[in-house]
Amino acid sequence: MTRVTIRDIRTARICFKGARGWFRRHGLDWSDFVQNGIEAERLAETGDPPALRAVRAAEEREARDGRQ
């Protein structure tokens, strides 16, 4: 299972201020995300382009690191 982390948000070039607001609007816990990441599926469910970029960054990171 792919987890999106704060590192993936940065890689996807999403600003943290915007991401915090986006998390709030979608009822997601930013603090928990920063500590633990979030399942990629949960972000992908929103269908929002920034979320999909972050999911793609996480999948690419895991592929590079040899984890999937």
Q: Which helix (H) or strand (E) holds 52?
A: helix 49-65
Look at residue 5 and tell me whether its pLDDT is greater than 90: yes
Say whether pTM exceeds 0.95. no
Taking each helix axis as running N to C, give the angle between helix 16-25 and helix 49-65, from 0 to 180 degrees, rounded to the nearest 10.
Answer: 110
Cβ(62)–Cβ(39) below 8 Å:
no
pLDDT in tens, 21-62: 999 999 999 999 999 999 999 999 999 999 999 999 999 999
Specify the pLDDT at position 1.
86
Q: Of 44, 55, 54, which is closest to residue 18 (Cα–Cα)? A: 54
Distance CA 51, CA 56 (A): 9
